[in-house]
Structures are given as C-alpha cells and as structure tokens.
Amino acid sequence: MYDLIIIGAGPAGLTAGLYAARGRLNALLLERLAPGGQVLTTDWVENYPGFPEGISGFDLMEKMKTQAEHFDLPIRMEEVTGLELLPEKKVVITHKERLEAKALILTLGATPKKLGIEGEELLIGKGVSYCATCDGPFYRNQEVAVIGGGDTALEEALFLTRFVVKVHLIHRRDKLRAVKLLQDRAMAEEKIEFIWDTVPVRILGESGVEGIELKNVKTGEIDRKEVQGVFVFIGTQPNMDVINGLVRQDENGFVITDEKMETSIPGVFAAGDIRSKVLRQVSTAVGDGANAAFFAERFIENVE
C-alpha cells in the first residue's frame, strides 16, 4: 500500500509530489496525459515569482517535473477511472490496475468551459478553439472573436494579435474582470475591438466558422460579425468525472476543502484548480499543493 497517491500532475500535483518525496513518503503521482496541466497552453507566464523575465508555460512545467523527479517521485501515465474511499484505505482504479493508499490528494485540475450555444460542438476543430497558443497561427490575416473578459481572455486576445488582422473581444458586461495591467495592454492594442454588454448566441458555418451571431444583453439587439475563428475563454469547469458525488462539492462541482486542503472525507485532500476557491493561478496551485502534502503526511502519521 502506498502512503499517498496524488492524481494529476499540474502545478499543484507536482508540488505536492515534491513535498511528499522530500518527506520520504511512499508516494505515487498519476497523470492521464503528460505532466504539465493547463499551464502548457499558456504562452508566457509572467506572474509566477522567480522568473523576472517570465517563462513559457511549457518550460515552467518541465522545470517543476524535473524538480519533483530529482527527489525520486515516481510519476506514472495512467488514467484514473474510479475511486473507492473507505475509512481504512483509499482505492484508486486506473485503466491498468488497482492501487491502494492511506491518503489521496486530488489535483485533477480544470478544463475550459464551453459556451453551450448552437454551432459550438459542430465547429470544434473547425474554427472554435479554447487554446490560442495552439491554434492562433492558423488565423494569419483573418478576423476572430474572443469571448470573455478575464485574464485568460485578454492574454489570449493579445497573443492572437500577432497573427490576425482583428480581434472582436466580446464581453457580457461593460467592465473587464482582468487584472489592470492586461486591461491597459488590451485597450492600447489597435487590433482589439471591444464589444460590450454582448453575448454570443450562435456560431455560424457548416464546415468551418464563418461568423458569429451576437445579442446585446441591454437592448436585445441581434448583430452578426464575420469571423473565421471563435476563441472561448469564459472560465473553467472542474475535471470531476471520477470524484463526482464522492466528496462535497460546490454548486459548480469544485471540491470544497478546509484550510488544510482536506475534503469532506478524512485522508482525501484536494489542491489547485479542482478546489473551490476564487483565484486560480500557478502560484495559488503551488501553495495548495504544499499544504495538501503537509497535512496528508500528518494524517498518515496519525493513522499509523
């Protein structure tokens, strides 16, 4: 039996793993895809301390992975398909095997939320995108729409201006949520045109995005913009498939913890974007991960 199994190798999971490995716990980190998490889609991280010039999301995660492995943390590429949370042990079922641990840390992360409007599903991969750094260069000299008004929406809109002739930034309110520095940059960028108080109602096109239908939430007026791409950054949803109903969650499915990162089930901890909290950043995920590993270790000591 493992002391600790950590599920998900983003910033929170890799930090928890680093702490657990340094604490000489018999720990295992499981990852369904490859270490990194959502940060991999970030072109440039400039608010993670220690990198004054900023660092690419990919390089930052390579460093975190290398650092965890430096302390002999085993990382295995397996997809978790089920959990059994018993008082005496926690069972983790993967697509390959059945593993047991005294404690668990859930660092499953989050995924970009979809709009849920007509045309969206049909046109994913054909102009609808949730990752500007993956798909931006396909839109050279074209016009695109960016949906959202937070940090991610503005960062990605600014990234897209390297390729496109125009970004229509569509936001449902008349004010942005994004950090002031990003707002200033976006306002100063000629290629970004803001469309306020507006929500998308339909994405147009059959074999590729041809346009977007918009509705002004104040006047009810319907408008259309001709765009070849629609980039959606309206927040995230928790990757909760394997934990749904097993631990206490908030109304959006994020996992509720106390300040020790412990969930409603003793010995099951949660850290990073999966956790119910306001600010989802690499820096907050790292703090969560350290706390979760610390209190998981305490839990394991008390069990023994």
Catalytic residue IDs: 131, 134-135
Q: DSSP for 182-211?
A: HHHHHHH-TTEEEE-SEEEEEEE-SSS--E
- The least distance separating another protein from the CB of residue 121, rounded to whole angstroms, comes to 11
Non-local CB neighbours of 56 within 8 Å, separated by 6+ positions: 42, 43, 44, 45
32 binds another protein, rule: CB under 8 A: yes
If the CB atoms of residues 9 and 154 are measured against another protein, the closer one turns out to be 9
Any idea what DSSP says for residue 177? -
CA distance 241 to 1: 24
Cβ burial of 175 (10 Å; 0-12, 13-18, 19+) is exposed
Segment near another protein (CB under 8 A), from 126-134, 182-190, 270-278, 287-295? 126-134
The 222-261 contact track toward another protein, x by CB under 8 A, reads -------x--------------------------------
CA distance 287 to 283: 6
Contact with another protein (CB under 8 A) among 40, 157, 158, 203? 40
The distance of closest approach from Cβ of residue 57 to another protein in the complex, given in angstroms and rounded to an integer, is: 6
36 binds another protein (CB under 8 A): yes
Q: Of 24, 54, 66, 77, which one interacts with another protein (CB under 8 A)?
A: 77
Closest C-alpha to 297, from 17, 8, 99, 1 = 17
Partnered with residue 80 across adjacent β-strands are 94
Residue 263 lies near another protein (rule: CB under 8 A): no
- Count the residues of the shown chain that bind another protein, applying the rule CB under 8 A: 28
Backbone region of residue 261 per phi and psi (left: phi > 0; alpha: psi in -120 to 50; beta: other values) = left
Q: How far apart are CA 4 and CA 17, in angstroms?
A: 9
Q: Which part of the chain contacts another protein (CB under 8 A), choosing from 16-24, 124-132, 148-156, 291-299?
A: 124-132
Among residues 22, 76, 113, 126, the one that binds another protein under rule CB under 8 A? 126
Residues 6+ apart with CB under 8 A from 60: 39, 45, 48, 51, 282
CA–CA–CA angle 155, 237, 118 (5° rounding): 85
- Is 42 or 249 the residue whose CB approaches another protein more closely? 42
Under rule CB under 8 A, residue 124 binds another protein? yes
Q: End-to-end CA distance of the chain, in Å?
A: 13
Among the listed residues 21, 90, 108, 129, the single contact to another protein using CB under 8 A:
129
**256 in Cβ contact with 263 (< 8 Å):** yes
Q: Tell me: does residue 79 bind another protein (CB under 8 A).
A: yes
Binding residue (CB under 8 A) for another protein from 138, 174, 223, 301: 138
For another protein, the closer of residues 36 and 272 by Cβ is: 36
* Closest to another protein by CB, 19 or 159: 159
Tell me which residues touch another protein (CB under 8 A). Answer: 32-34, 36, 40-42, 56-58, 77, 79, 95, 124-127, 129, 131, 133-135, 137-139, 207-208, 229
